Amino acid sequence: MRKRFSVILCIVLLVFVFFSNIHLSYAMERGKLEETGHVIWNIKTDKKLIALTFDDGPHPVYTSQILDLLAAYKAKATFFVVGSRVKKYPELAKREIEEGHEIANHTYNHLYRLKLDEKTLKEELERTDEVIYETTGVYPIFYRPVGGYYNDLIIKTAVDKKLRVIMWSWHQDSRDWSRPGVKKIITNVLDDYRPGDIVLFHDSGGNRSQTVAALKVIIPAIQRAGYEFVTISELLRRTGIDPDPVF
């Protein structure tokens, strides 16, 4: 019995060491990427600024509701839009820009895989850039890989297209995509927010009623703590970083 327990303990320890090393390697890779300025997860600052970001939209129901909320609280956000959905709902993309928010690239067809070839990814980014410009008169300067997956090719392709990659703060994934319940989404965000955070939400890709309900609590709670909600560009600009550098 003791021998069996020792074997199980050794296996558990090996698994722990294995995954710890993966996390360490990932963290080291992140550090190197952040140094280049090509990829951003969050901003180190004492200023009480937070960037709300929304992926996968626009959506005819939930995007409108989120925009109404943002307007009510005088909060700004960045929308990482899917090009095909901008084509389908151009009025919502126009509204985002008209109301002082920011639009960024989230590919044209929301291709959810890591192994994208360079040609396909370039086409996805270019088509999205063009439809955003045709719709709003503004070219995006930021890109978020679908699912947050990235590799050297994805980063290089984005940089070649003059797009800075924007991820999100590791402690600020609201996990609203899994529809865990309104209370859980609220807890995920309010339990550990900090200056310079980039918070991940979704305004499309499924039923986002939980997201809308959670935001009604999250936004005023963080504002009461003295924080301001700004676009990614504004977050960078007000912390001394050029939002649109020439790479």
Is-contact 104 142, C-beta < 8 A? yes
**Active-site residue identified among 23, 55, 117, 171:** 55
Tell me if residue 101 is catalytic: no
Is-contact 146 110, C-beta < 8 A? yes
Is-contact 183 156, C-beta < 8 A? no
DSSP secondary structure string, 158-188?
HHHTT-EEE---TT-B--GGG---HHHHHHH
Half-sphere exposure of 146 (CA within 13 A, CB side): 20
Tell me if residue 202 is catalytic: yes
**Active-site residue identified among 59, 101, 106, 202:** 202
CA–CA distances in Å: residue 227 to residues 70, 74, 195? 14, 12, 8
What's the CA gap between 122 and 83, in Å, rounded? Answer: 13
Q: Which residues are marked as active site? A: 55, 202
